[in-house]
Amino acid sequence: MEIKQAFGLALRALRTSRGLTQEDFALVSSRTFMSSLERGIKGATLEKLDELAATIGVHPVSVIVACYLEKDPAVKLEDLLEQIRSDLK
Give me the residue spans of the domains in the chain.
3-87
* 53 CB-near residues (< 8 Å, 6+ apart): 59, 60, 62, 63
pLDDT of residue 72: 95
Q: 3 — phi, psi (to 5°)?
A: -65, -35
pLDDT of residue 35: 96
Q: What is the pLDDT of residues 22-45, one digit of tens each?
A: 999 999 999 999 999 999 999 999
- When pLDDT is cut at 50, 70 and 90, the band that residue 21 belongs to is very high
- 70 alpha-carbon distance from chain centroid: 10
pTM: 0.90
pLDDT of residue 1: 87
The CATH number of 3-87 is 1.10.260.40
Query: What is residue 26's DSSP assignment?
Result: T
Q: Residue 46 is which amino acid?
A: L
